[in-house]
A and B are shown apart, each in its own frame.
Chain A
Amino acid sequence: MVFTFHIPATRMNRSLGPPGPKRKRPESSSQSDSLTEQERILYEVIRSKQDMGIWTRDMKRETNLQDSVVNKSLKVLVAKNLIKEVVNIKNKGKKFYMAAEFQPSKEITGGAWYAEGQLDTALISFLKDFSAKQIQKQRVLTLDVISDLIRRSGVLKVDLAEQQIKDILRALVLDDEIIEVLSTGTGEFASFPVGKVCYKCTSKGARGGEPKTGAFSSVPCGVCPRILLCTPEGVISPKTCVYYNKWLEF
């Protein structure tokens, strides 16, 4: 099975790295030795915040150092690879720094699905597509099997947490691409124990991926944003309705 999908390595690391900080001491203890007193104070404050990082304004407050000193020191620390700038999902305008040895926490990144402060839509849609196709092909699948298939496909170099695959499946359920069912142990569920949570495709697949259009949503009023304001004799009325004019244009 060949998948021609490439996720840039940098994004991969961010969105797929195992949760929690990677505690590898910086190779450069010598580098931190060569710091000035002020740079050392700043570095310690930043490091003490671990995977939460710290906002530049807060650094200034906590270290009592002058703006210019802080700015200069930050440059030095970044140059020495001791700290890094990170994007905080909650406030993309604020500059945040973190010691290089930590991976940004969920609060900072927005969770496993965020990369550099952005929802990693490329990765998500790839995984959704992949999972949906597998389920379509095999009719009924369980979470374990899907995880396994993703792992064995070899397209992702990092393992996904179980929760992440659940997220993907849930998104597919909410999109009405698949449904979650309990195995009955017979028929198409024969290979799964009774009561096991399984996923199977909805008939929507056969309709070309769009949910069935209802009767009400096929007429202008069903999809009308102004329906609550519309009255027979009012300013917005069926007689003068522009949506109808458009609908009846043929």
Chain B
Amino acid sequence: MVSQHGIKFAVHIITKHFGNLVAKVCECLLRRGALTLQNIVRYTELTPTQVKNSLLVLIQHNCVQAFILEEPGGFGDTLRLITQYVVLFDNILHRLRFSKFLALVSLHFDKPCLDLLEGLLQHGRLSLQQMFDRARETEGSNVTLSTVQENLHKLVTARYVERCPIPEPVLEPPSENDVAARKRAAKSKIIVEAETLEQRVVAASFPSDTLRFSVAVNPELNIDCATEHAGEKRKFDALESDIDGGATTEKIILWRANCEEFVRQLRNKACIENVRARLDDDAATVFSAMVEASGSEEKKIKVVNSAPLSVNAIYEEVIKSEKGRNMTFNHVRASLVQLSSQPRFVRVADETYSIDFKNIVELAQNDEVESVVLKRYGRTAYKIFRLLSKDGRLVETDKDLSTPLTQDRVMKISDSIFVEKKESANMLYKLWQDGYLLMERLVAGATQFLLWKVDKQKVWWHFLDEMFHGALNLSLRVAYEIDQRDEILKLREGASKEKRDRLVKVRMLMESSLMKLDDAIMLFHDF
């Protein structure tokens, strides 16, 4: 499920990149979930051709995935196969991050690789031949197919590039177990992170890790033909598969950038910077060696912690880096002690160390939210908010921290944290109105209690929605400023240098702010 402003922001991105028609189809899918072609036509009131073309664009840019849902037919046990389309929200947001992805790759790869990746990001999906053509355009005719292939292999080995997923994976209807589990969850009012349809489709569309990153093109290897697509032709077929059997004639492998790997790298980078900010450079060096050493093991983004590493393994990795070369074994040990004491970045068990990603991400999330509370509502609010969201910052044992606090208790505590009672009462209401606190009324006999708490799941969700809102506003304002600039330049040929300089500065500030805000969005949405 995507929050309201998440949808608006995504639609804004698509409108900016692909125009209104495509955006309309995209919005329809974002708001209504997976749909068949007919239904999209019905809801958007566009012509079937318009919808088809829009879907093609969205599929080409990995923002929509088609899939086939097996549904029991009307009579008997026959299964009806229906092609549906689901929008991939994450991939829409990734479109903002292309510059970040390229910056990551530029650290370890040369210009031709970078160009190749840029082509993939720009065009969504490309075949080797298309990449080759592009390379010849930019670098001249002495580029050979085999060098392009080599570069592609390098990027695929690093997992920055992958094969495109199966065009229309078949999805089985949810089993009875799933349905029962969902009902149970709904009853207990707990928002469990049940696998969304989007996630199920994505999982089904990848055959296997080996195939996903397989660079072999030798047909004798007998690769599942499902991973081989017939380029543009095949996709049209997919869209018309109700009518036409969709027989493929030529088999072309299509490639695309693997955003998952980029986001994982960005998460690692964010964690390392967090360690540096809270501890010091040495700790960051040791920590980043740990990230390096466990990198090959761990491929998911949302992981709780990394695989355990021994001190020796960590040390070995530390001295590989330039900064770590002058660190002694004891030095590294001391940093590990530092990393594993509170606030904890690393877990220790049986002399092995693993990165506590979950905790690091949570700490960073807390910082982000608290900073907004402090700057928007002031210090009293900041204290109250921290008081209610404690999460282990206070190791008091006499209270169950997950339970909400009664108004009375908040008052008593706010008293002892030196906030005037009236001020804190007003602030509780304000924060509640704005969605930063939850309030519950509890009636016991004639008396009524007010319970307050920071329900992380709900508050974080609200906060993320506000960040999407902020990102949308920022982006709209950038567009407005650019319009203004064009106006000014049009009106007066010789618009003063000062004015022009200002606009350059404005744009730079806003765009870099948007990138930073996007880092924070990733912190809540992706990591």
Q: Is A bound to B?
A: yes
User: Chain A: residues with CB nearer than 8 A to chain B?
Assistant: 110-111, 113, 119, 121, 124, 167, 170-171, 173-176, 179-182, 184, 186-189, 197, 202-203, 211-219, 221-225, 227-228, 230, 232, 238-239, 241, 244, 248, 250
Q: Which of A176, A216, A238 contacts B368 (CB 8 A)?
A: A216
Which B-chain residue is minimally distant from A187 (CB atoms)?
B337
Chain B residues, CB < 8 A from A241: 473, 477
A248 touches B371 (CB 8 A): no
Q: How far is the CA of A175 from the CA of B382 in the complex (A)?
A: 8
Chain A residues, CB < 8 A from B372: 214, 216-217, 222-223
22 A-B residue pairs with Cβ-Cβ distance under 8 Å, sorted by A, are: A110-B415, A176-B370, A184-B340, A187-B334, A203-B279, A212-B367, A212-B371, A214-B371, A214-B520, A215-B368, A215-B517, A216-B466, A216-B517, A219-B517, A221-B469, A222-B470, A228-B434, A230-B469, A232-B476, A238-B480, A239-B476, A241-B473
Chain A residues, CB < 8 A from B502: 250
Q: Which of B338, B416, B506 contacts A170 (CB 8 A)?
A: B416
Q: If A179-B343, A187-B334, A250-B505 touch, does A215 touch B376 (CB 8 Å cutoff)?
A: no
Q: Which of B334, B376, B387, B434 contacts A217 (CB 8 A)?
A: B376
Q: How far is the CA of A232 from the CA of B387 in the complex (A)?
A: 35
Q: How far is the CA of A170 from the CA of B509 in the complex (A)?
A: 38
B374 touches A211 (CB 8 A): yes
- Per-position contact with A for B344-373: 1 when CB-CB < 8 Å, else 0? 000000000000000000000001111110
B375 touches A223 (CB 8 A): yes
Q: If A181-B341, A186-B337 touch, does A211 touch B367 (CB 8 Å cutoff)?
A: yes
B469 touches A227 (CB 8 A): yes
Closest 5 CB pairs of A and B: A214-B371, A221-B470, A238-B473, A215-B520, A181-B342
Indicate whether B417 reaches chain A with its CB closer than 8 angstroms: yes
Q: How far is the CA of A45 from the CA of B510 in the complex (A)?
A: 70
Q: Give chain A nearest CB distance to B103 CB in angstroms.
A: 17
B470 touches A174 (CB 8 A): no
B341 touches A187 (CB 8 A): yes
- Per-position contact with A for B401-442: 1 when CB-CB < 8 Å, else 0? 000000000000001111010000000000000110000000
Q: Give chain B nearest CB distance to A122 CB in angstroms.
A: 12
Q: Which of A171, A181, A227 contacts B417 (CB 8 A)?
A: A171
Tell me if B's interface is mostly helix, strand, loop or mixed. Answer: helix
| Given contact pairs A170-B417, A174-B386, A221-B474, a sample of 5 additional A-B residue pairs in the complex whose CB atoms are under 8 Å apart | A111-B415, A184-B340, A215-B516, A215-B519, A216-B517
Q: If A179-B393, A214-B372 touch, does A174 touch B513 (CB 8 Å cutoff)?
A: no
Q: How far is the CA of A224 from the CA of B375 in the complex (A)?
A: 9
Indicate whether B277 reaches chain A with its CB closer than 8 angstroms: yes
User: Chain B: residues with CB nearer than 8 A to chain A?
Assistant: 277-279, 334, 337-338, 340-343, 367-372, 374-376, 382-383, 386-387, 393-395, 415-418, 420, 434-435, 466-467, 469-470, 472-474, 476-477, 480-481, 502, 505-506, 509-510, 513, 516-517, 519-520
Chain A residues, CB < 8 A from B417: 167, 170-171, 174
- A111, A121, A211, A238 — which one has the most chain B CB atoms within 10 A of its CB? A238
Q: How far is the CA of A163 from the CA of B502 in the complex (A)?
A: 56
Chain A residues, CB < 8 A from B368: 214-217
Q: Give chain A nearest CB distance to B334 CB in angstroms.
A: 7
Q: How far is the CA of A8 from the CA of B255 in the complex (A)?
A: 77
Q: How far is the CA of A176 from the CA of B505 in the complex (A)?
A: 34
Chain B residues, CB < 8 A from A186: 337
Q: How far is the CA of A212 from the CA of B375 in the complex (A)?
A: 11
Chain B residues, CB < 8 A from A250: 502, 505-506
Which A-chain residue is minimally distant from B371 (CB atoms)?
A214
Q: If A180-B393, A188-B341 touch, does A211 touch B516 (CB 8 Å cutoff)?
A: no
Q: How far is the CA of A248 from the CA of B508 in the complex (A)?
A: 11
B516 touches A212 (CB 8 A): no
Which A-chain residue is minimally distant from B476 (CB atoms)?
A238
Q: Give chain A nearest CB distance to B68 CB in angstroms.
A: 37
Q: Which of A189, A203, A215 contacts B341 (CB 8 A)?
A: A189
B371 touches A181 (CB 8 A): no
Chain A residues, CB < 8 A from B474: 219, 221, 238
Q: Give chain B nearest CB distance to A232 CB in angstroms.
A: 6
Q: If A174-B386, A181-B395, A215-B516 touch, does A223 touch B277 (CB 8 Å cutoff)?
A: no
B416 touches A176 (CB 8 A): no
Q: If A124-B418, A181-B395 touch, does A217 touch B375 (CB 8 Å cutoff)?
A: yes
Chain B residues, CB < 8 A from A238: 473-474, 476-477, 480
A223 touches B278 (CB 8 A): no
B480 touches A239 (CB 8 A): yes
A227 touches B367 (CB 8 A): no
A182 touches B395 (CB 8 A): yes
Which A-chain residue is minimally distant from B517 (CB atoms)?
A215
Q: How far is the CA of A214 from the CA of B277 in the complex (A)?
A: 13
Chain A residues, CB < 8 A from B334: 187
Q: How far is the CA of A119 from the CA of B419 in the complex (A)?
A: 8
B341 touches A219 (CB 8 A): no
Chain B residues, CB < 8 A from A218: 513, 516
B477 touches A197 (CB 8 A): no
Q: Give chain B nearest CB distance to A133 CB in angstroms.
A: 18
Q: How far is the CA of A202 from the CA of B363 in the complex (A)?
A: 13
Q: If A219-B517, A241-B477 touch, does A203 touch B278 (CB 8 Å cutoff)?
A: yes
Q: If A238-B476, A241-B477, A248-B506 touch, does A211 touch B370 (CB 8 Å cutoff)?
A: yes
Chain A residues, CB < 8 A from B370: 176, 211, 214
Q: How far is the CA of A248 from the CA of B466 in the complex (A)?
A: 21
Which A-chain residue is minimally distant from B12 (CB atoms)?
A232
Q: Give chain A nearest CB distance to B523 CB in angstroms.
A: 9
Q: How far is the CA of A203 from the CA of B368 in the complex (A)?
A: 16
Q: Give chain B nearest CB distance to A90 CB in angstroms.
A: 9
Chain A residues, CB < 8 A from B374: 211, 217
Chain A residues, CB < 8 A from B520: 214-216
Q: If A113-B416, A171-B417, A217-B376 touch, does A248 touch B383 (CB 8 Å cutoff)?
A: no
Q: How far is the CA of A170 from the CA of B384 in the complex (A)?
A: 12
Q: Give chain B nearest CB distance to A204 CB in angstroms.
A: 9
Chain B residues, CB < 8 A from A119: 418, 420
Q: Give chain B nearest CB distance to A142 CB in angstroms.
A: 13
Q: How far is the CA of A218 from the CA of B374 in the complex (A)?
A: 12
Chain A residues, CB < 8 A from B435: 228
Q: How far is the CA of A189 from the CA of B382 in the complex (A)?
A: 29
Chain A residues, CB < 8 A from B279: 203
- A167, A223, A225, A232 — which one has the most chain B CB atoms within 10 A of its CB? A223
A170 touches B477 (CB 8 A): no
Q: How far is the CA of A88 from the CA of B338 in the complex (A)?
A: 49
Chain A residues, CB < 8 A from B277: 203, 212
Q: How far is the CA of A250 from the CA of B508 in the complex (A)?
A: 13
Q: Give chain A nearest CB distance to B473 CB in angstroms.
A: 4
Q: Which of B395, B418, B477 contacts A113 (CB 8 A)?
A: B418
Which A-chain residue is minimally distant from B414 (CB atoms)?
A174
